[in-house]
């Protein structure tokens, strides 16, 4: 049972009688619509930009994992690093839903596309910060044995990924800040 259903009341139906006398349910959307104030050509450009954010984030994350640092053998450094892949992959799913949705979205399309990208970027930043802190803990704990240059390269790449996610936030505000919500039920 779902206690907090955000789509409750958005989808409705009414019974209709067909010509043969059978009952048939007619389903329709009665919730809010989210209108993007852009053209389809601008939407495709924004999909391309969002793909660049995704590709740069995932590529840098893989490159940071390829840096041969000693901390990669430590569970509290590796675990947050691996968890970082999850929000970035959810970001890609959000891009896919956004690319396939119309310019006038219902609440479910908006949540699965645009809102998922925003929450994924927040999640990626949070996990990246945890990963950076864990690597600094490792550096401080093993200062005598650590190859500092490799560890700092690793941390630097993670910081660059954080900056990319913050730039996505600025792009998100610019691109999706003017979405008009069309209220159906008032």
> What is the arithmetic mean of pLDDT over 136-149?
88
Helix (H) or strand (E) holding 51: helix 40-66
pLDDT in tens, 83-141: 999 999 999 999 999 999 999 888 888 889 999 999 999 999 999 999 999 999 999 99
What gap in Å lies between CA 114 and CA 99, rounded to an integer? Answer: 10
Cβ neighbors of 107 (< 8 A, separation 6 or more) are 6, 7, 10, 31, 32, 34
What gap in Å lies between CA 32 and CA 108, rounded to an integer? Answer: 10
Contact 25, 94 (CB under 8 A): no
What gap in Å lies between CA 94 and CA 120, rounded to an integer? Answer: 9
Look at residues 44, 57, 9, 50 and name the one whose alpha carbon lies nearest to residue 158.
Answer: 57
pLDDT in tens, 76-86: 889 999 999 99
Q: Answer yes or no: is pLDDT of 71 > 80.
A: no
pLDDT score recorded for residue 14: 73
> What is the arithmetic mean of pLDDT over 43-64?
96
pLDDT in tens, 151-176: 899 999 999 999 999 999 999 999 98
pLDDT score recorded for residue 33: 79
Tell me if residue 105 falls in helix, strand or coil. Answer: strand
pLDDT score recorded for residue 11: 61
């Amino acid at each position: 049972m779902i206690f907090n259903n955000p789509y409750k009341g958005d989808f409705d139906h009414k019974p209709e009688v067909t010509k043969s006398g059978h009952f048939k349910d007619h389903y329709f959307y009665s919730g809010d619509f989210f209108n993007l104030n852009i053209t389809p050509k601008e939407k495709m450009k924004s999909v391309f930009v969002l793909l660049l954010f995704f590709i740069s984030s995932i590529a840098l994350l893989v490159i940071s994992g390829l840096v041969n640092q000693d901390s990669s053998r430590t569970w509290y450094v590796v675990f947050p690093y691996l968890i970082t892949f999850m929000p970035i992959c959810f970001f890609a799913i959000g891009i896919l839903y956004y690319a396939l949705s119309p310019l006038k979205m219902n609440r479910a399309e908006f949540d699965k596309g645009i809102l998922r990208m925003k929450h994924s970027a927040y999640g990626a930043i949070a996990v990246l910060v945890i990963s950076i802190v864990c690597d600094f803990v490792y550096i401080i704990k093993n200062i005598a044995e650590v190859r500092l240059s490799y560890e700092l390269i690793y941390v630097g790449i993670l910081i660059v990924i954080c900056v990319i996610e913050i730039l996505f936030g600025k792009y998100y505000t610019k691109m999706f800040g003017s979405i008009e919500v069309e209220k159906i039920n008032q």
